[in-house]
Amino acid sequence: MLKRLCAITGALVVSAATCAHAQQAAADDTRTQYPRFLANSFFSVNVGSMGYLFTDRQLEPGFHAESIEKPRLAVRLDLFGHRFTKHLSVQATYLRPVQFVKYKNINGDSSSSQVSNAFGGITLVGDVPLTARVSAYVEGGGGITSRSGFDSRGQPALLPAHYTAGLLGAGLAYHASPRTDVVFGATYSPVARRSASRRRGCSRSGFDTP
């Protein structure tokens, strides 16, 4: 089973310790076997920066926000992935910001209204070796984007939205060892003109551990 653990650079030491512990445990118990359907499967966690297109255009007519707070830190979870071949895999993906967007002081109401948003879907990933240690990957797929809404002074100011959307991605992977990859990449999801946001720039680093 391939287990992918991805983290920001500051957490690499912790991740390395986890990988070493897992390898030692596997060496101590050679009887351990995974179910056949889990063979060549993996899980990953990616941390990066997310960009948005949230503006007053998403608000209902007659509403205006003094400012919009757009936190950039985001997390992407590849909840389950499976490798069909050495260079082709599929993965179920969940993407969301760590903190949600906030519309502030709408029409002078001095309030702060939070908008939760997330993407869930499936992507197909292909990679091509560039050198003995570096490979490039591309991914494409689709899923569902959801966004919450809110009221201002008892009137709907932002309507909730749920719609299908594509997901594209590309990046580089450095194969530090047979058991470790350091990955840097970006993802992008186009959206409807009056709905939610654009997602981009999810850089990541981490490990692949069989």
Tell me what the mean pLDDT of segment 104-121 comes to: 92
**Of the given ranges (2-6, 35-39, 105-109, 142-146), which has the lowest mean pLDDT?**
2-6
Tell me the average pLDDT of the chain: 77
Buried b (16+ CB within 10 A) or exposed e, 151-183: ebeeeebbeebeeebebbbebebebeeebbbbb
- State the residue range of the domain holding 169: 3-209
Listed range (41-45, 72-76, 140-144, 199-203) with the worst mean pLDDT: 199-203
The overall pTM is greater than 0.85: no
Q: How far apart are CA 3 and CA 81, in angstroms?
A: 9
Write the pLDDT tens digit of every residue in 52-64: 788 888 899 999 9
Question: Looking at 44-48, 107-111, 194-198, which range is the least confident one?
Answer: 194-198
Burial of 32 (0-12, 13-18, 19+ CB in 10 A): exposed
- Total domain count, the chain: 1
**Residue 69, domain CATH:** 2.40.160.20
The predicted-structure confidence for 24-41, as pLDDT tens digits, reads as follows 444 555 545 666 667 778
Which comes out higher in pLDDT, residue 180 or 207?
180
Sign of the alpha-carbon torsion through 65, 67, 72, 74: negative
pLDDT in tens, 163-191: 888 889 999 988 888 766 778 888 888 76
